[in-house]
Amino acid sequence: MTTTKRTALLTGATGNWGRATLRELRTHPEVRVRAFAQPTVRDREVLAEFADIPNLEIAWGDLTRYADVAKAIDGVDVILHVGAVVSPLADEKPKLAHRVNIGAMQNIIRAVKALPDPGAVAVVGVGSVAQTGDRQAPIHWGRVGDPIRVSHLDEYGQTKVIAEKLLLESGLPRWAWLRQTGIFHPGMLEIRDPIMTHSPFAGVMEWVSAEDSARLLARIAAGATAEEFWGGVYNIGGGEGWRLTNWELQLAIGGAMGVRDIRTWYDRNWFATGNFHGQWYTDSDRLDELVPFREDTFEDAVARAVTAAPASVRSAGRVPSWIVKHLVMKPLARRPRGTMHAIRAGAHEEIRAHFGSHEAWRAIGDWSSFEAPQPSRVPTSLEHGYDEEVPTSAWDADVYGGAADFRGGALVSRDVARGDISTPLAWRCAFGHVFAASPRLVLKAGHWCPDCVRDSASYEVQAERNRFLAQLYATVPVTARGDTVRRRRGPLHHDR
């Protein structure tokens, strides 16, 4: 690890991940920390915990104001851009999510480009597993380069898709993008929000602890990264021991609270059957190789959560289950954004997103027919539409044309420089939209037509012409160059 004093700007310093990162940076006196925060009562109270850190300074401001951002990055070596409006707040205030999550990235890029030497500042952007949406058996493994496909009605995921494209296409000399998975933090046992009901029992997630996520950022700030790290997109995941089904997570959290049978707290049909997000990663080990950060086990994180939880939470299992079910969980499921609110209000678009249809919800059944999901632990990979053994230095118009054809479209650009993966080219999707994107964005990061990505309600229709996307769906007829190809059933239901 370098002993040279480095200065790191940390945005989102008062969130769960940000606070954990500040605690970890206490152990890195070689790093000067500049925490970006809003001058609100809440942020001031949160940051009071860290008043004892001698190498900490606060940059008060608003990420949506360019002048504040430009001032904050002055003299820094690395920007750890964690700050964002995340779910469930992003669900409640989607316009705010767009303004902050996209506007902040625009301001950071603009400010770094305005520096005398933009290459002197490294930018680490943070995305989300929400960018790739729902994954359930039999297609529940994923890697960077798989289709960008945001769950329907998920504005947070859409903002992160745009922010990722902004950074990858920015032309900045030194950057990296981290797609964060679900963060297990001590407050997990206390979450009571209707978004809980959006999580399908059969869904999967490769979680990571807040502490390991903090170690990752702190070691990047300290310069403990392989040079190969820069210019890449990575999935953050805890590894094999953190790969859980959502049902296994329910059991673990219930068990931590002393609940003997978590099924007594809910009706089975209160929980969505699709349209959330999560996957197990075939490539998350790569990030740990480049920036070693994994130290926690899932059991470690649960134990910390139990220790930090109020006594009322730790002893929740002693409360008669009918009280919890009818006075806590049922009202929660019926609140706005809850699945049962959609059912009771006849909100057809939300019902389609959560269950596929009202009839499908009625057919879910009760606990007597429930079987715990057991997805395969054998990793599998989707096709990306090109020979991945070919080095990027040899990528040319033929490689790009083949990848576009696999997606049902075409490469429009004629002037293509061999091995140049960062210059945007013109492409056309199967629906006639013409757009600009670099080969790196398309082939390495899984992006395609931004108009089609935005139209999440029509993904399955798009899959009929897009073999790349069709891999995630039920048996869909895919027409390409006159041929019809049938794909096996994917994890999503038919409403998309």
pLDDT value at position 3?
Answer: 52
Band the pLDDT of 326: cuts 50, 70, 90: very high
Domain for residue 40, yes or no? yes
pLDDT value at position 491?
Answer: 35
Alpha carbons 315 and 313: distance in angstroms, whole number: 5
Q: Is the pLDDT of residue 490 over 70?
A: no
pLDDT value at position 349?
Answer: 96
pLDDT value at position 1?
Answer: 42
- Among 306, 330, 347, identify where a domain stops: 306
Q: Is the pLDDT of residue 483 over 50?
A: no
Q: Is the pLDDT of residue 188 over 90?
A: no
Band the pLDDT of 489: cuts 50, 70, 90: very low
Q: Is the pLDDT of residue 90 over 60?
A: yes
Note the pLDDT tens digit of each residue in 200-231: 999 999 999 999 999 999 999 999 998 999 99
Domain for residue 336, yes or no? no
> For residue 49, how many other CB atoms are within 10 A of its CB?
12
Q: Name residues whose C-beta falls within 8 Å of residue 387's C-beta, 6 or more positions apart in sequence.
A: 399
pLDDT value at position 492?
Answer: 34
- Among 275, 306, 337, identify where a domain stops: 306
Identify whether residues 164 and 34 lie together within a single domain. Answer: yes
Looking up residue 213, the CATH number of its domain turns out to be 3.40.50.720
Report the percent of the chain where pLDDT is more than 90.
89
Identify whether residues 254 and 126 lie together within a single domain. Answer: yes
Identify whether residues 24 and 169 lie together within a single domain. Answer: yes
Domain for residue 319, yes or no? no
pLDDT value at position 494?
Answer: 27
Q: Domain tally for the chain?
A: 2
Identify whether residues 293 and 441 lie together within a single domain. Answer: no
pLDDT value at position 484?
Answer: 37
Q: Is the pLDDT of residue 410 over 50?
A: yes
Alpha carbons 436 and 438: distance in angstroms, whole number: 7
Domain for residue 332, yes or no? no
Note the pLDDT tens digit of each residue in 296-312: 999 999 999 999 988 98
What are the tokens at 254? 């219930």
Band the pLDDT of 5: cuts 50, 70, 90: confident
Alpha carbons 487 and 465: distance in angstroms, whole number: 12
Domain for residue 360, yes or no? no
pLDDT value at position 496?
Answer: 27
| Lowest-confidence segment of 106-110, 158-162, 426-430, 475-479 by average pLDDT | 475-479
Domain for residue 493, yes or no? no
Q: Is the pLDDT of residue 100 over 60?
A: yes
Identify whether residues 265 and 401 lie together within a single domain. Answer: no
**Amino acid identity, position 362:** R
Residues facing 477 on adjacent strands: 486
SS3 readout for the chain = CCCCCEEEEEECCCCHHHHHHHHHHCCCCCEEEEEEECCCHHHHHHHHHHCCCCCEEEEECCCCCHHHHHHHCCCCCEEEECCCCCCCHHHHCHHHHHHHHHHHHHHHHHHHHCCCCHHHCEEEEEEEHHHCCCCECCECEECCCCCCCCCCCCHHHHHHHHHHHHHHCCCCCCEEEEEECCEECHHHHHCCCHHHHHCCCCCEEECEEHHHHHHHHHHHHCCCCCHHHCCCEEECCCCHHHEEEHHHHHHHHHHHCCCCCHHHHCCHHHCCCCCCCCCEECCHHHHHHHCCCCCCCHHHHHHHHHHHCCHHHHCHHHCCHHHHHHHHHHHHHHCCCCHHHHHHHCCHHHHHHHHCCHHHHHCCCCHHHCCCCCCCCCCCCCCCCCCCCCCHHHCCHHHHHHHHHHCCCEECCCCCCCCCCCCCEEEECCCCCEEEECHHHHHHCCCCCHHHHHCHHHHHHHHCCCHHHHCCCCCCEEEECCEEEECCCCCCCCCC
Note the pLDDT tens digit of each residue in 266-283: 999 999 999 999 999 999
pLDDT value at position 426?
Answer: 98
pLDDT value at position 475?
Answer: 54
- Among 280, 306, 332, identify where a domain stops: 306
Q: For all residues of the chain together, what is the average pLDDT?
A: 93
Q: Is the pLDDT of residue 147 over 70?
A: yes
pLDDT value at position 485?
Answer: 37
What are the tokens at 241? 């021991």
Per-residue pLDDT averaged across 122-146, rounded? Answer: 97
**Amino acid identity, position 9:** L
pLDDT value at position 95?
Answer: 95
Identify whether residues 294 and 405 lie together within a single domain. Answer: no
Alpha carbons 78 and 448: distance in angstroms, whole number: 29
Whole domain around residue 258: which residue ranges?
Answer: 6-306
What is the pTM for the complete model shown? 0.94
Q: Is the pLDDT of residue 236 over 90?
A: yes
